[in-house]
Amino acid sequence: MSRVIERGVRTKDRADTLAKVDVPEDSDRSELESLMDAWYRERGARIEVSLMLMRMRRLLTRIVKRGYITDRDRHEAELVLKAAALLEDGQAATKL
């Protein structure tokens, strides 16, 4: 017999996203923890990428509207590029 772990996750684009995983009753607790850790990391990466894209969009919109780049814009662009590189390498962007 299996038990089902369900977790509803609210997202902006979809009203409800449901993650469902069948876990055998006799499964090792470490397997379950590994599975949940992997899900958590994947979800976190998606959130970080989404936040990074929003930040890039705001920066580029500001630059295009103004028509030139300020020192503040240049500094933020450098931070965004470093954070994007960390995300690409699989590290958390919050390490900046």
Per residue in 67-76, pLDDT tens?
A: 999 999 999 9
CA 47 – CA 75 distance, rounded (Å): 23
Note the pTM of the prediction, 2 decimals: 0.54
Helix (H, G, I), strand (E, B) or coil at 67: coil
pLDDT at residue 3, as a whole number: 47
Check whether 41 has a pLDDT greater than 80. yes
Give the number of other Cβ atoms within 10 Å of residue 93's Cβ.
20
What's the chain's average pLDDT?
76
pLDDT beyond 90 at 44 = no
Q: Is the pLDDT of residue 22 over 60?
A: yes
Give the pLDDT confidence score for residue 72 in this predicted structure. 94
Domain ranges of the chain: 2-95
